[in-house]
């Protein structure tokens, strides 16, 4: 069986707040897993690779008997062409991520294909990547709000301690 994996990375302001989204489906299109992760401040290309690594790490936990091939789909031409060996990896920020992905593939002996697709066919992975960013930013706003609250005592402390 072939597992279809849509991956996407998003970065707002590039570099900026970034997220990774992964949609894993079986051959019939039944969703097996939806993964999302906030990545902090990073570039879009780094986020794309981190989405790939998240997917590979997840699939590495699945017994080999469940699938025999993974078909990756990405709207990042750079990632697809680098993973297919058409482009070399020159960026010092991308190289460690590329090597990590290749190491996971080699260690697990995973048979994979990488296919470029347009953004319109990668909306679910994009939604997950952006949802990871939105959730992290909303949580940060809530934490800041709570940290800035000043407790208001209903009565003065002096009145509690004085004997009038």
- pLDDT, tens digit, 9 for 90 and up, residues 80-132: 999 999 999 999 999 999 999 999 999 888 889 999 999 999 999 999 999 99
Q: Give this prediction's pTM.
A: 0.85
At residue 137, the pLDDT reads 92
Assigned fold of 2-161: Nucleotidyltransferase; domain 5 (3.30.420)
Inter-CA distances, 18 with 14, 42, 43, 152, Å: 8, 6, 7, 37
What is the percentage of the chain residues whose pLDDT exceeds 90?
75
Q: 54 Cβ partners below 8 Å, 6+ apart?
A: 20, 22, 35, 37
**Cα 102 vs. chain centroid, distance in angstroms?**
18
Question: Domain boundaries in the chain?
Answer: 2-161
């Amino acid at each position: 069986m072939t597992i279809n994996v849509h991956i996407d990375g998003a970065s707002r302001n590039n570099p900026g707040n970034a997220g990774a989204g992964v949609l894993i489906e079986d051959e019939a299109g039944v969703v097996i897993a939806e993964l999302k992760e906030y990545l902090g401040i990073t570039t879009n290309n780094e986020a794309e690779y981190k989405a790939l690594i998240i997917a590979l790490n997840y699939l590495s936990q699945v017994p080999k008997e469940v699938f025999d091939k993974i078909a990756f789909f990405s709207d990042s031409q750079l990632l697809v062409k680098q993973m297919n060996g058409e482009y070399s990896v020159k960026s010092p920020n991308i190289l460690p991520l590329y090597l990590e992905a290749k190491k996971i593939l080699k260690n697990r002996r995973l048979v994979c294909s990488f296919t470029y697709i347009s953004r319109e066919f990668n909306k679910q992975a994009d939604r997950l990547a952006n949802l990871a960013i939105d959730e992290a930013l909303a949580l940060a706003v809530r934490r800041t709000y709570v940290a800035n609250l000043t407790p208001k005592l209903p009565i003065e402390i002096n009145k509690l301690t004085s004997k009038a």
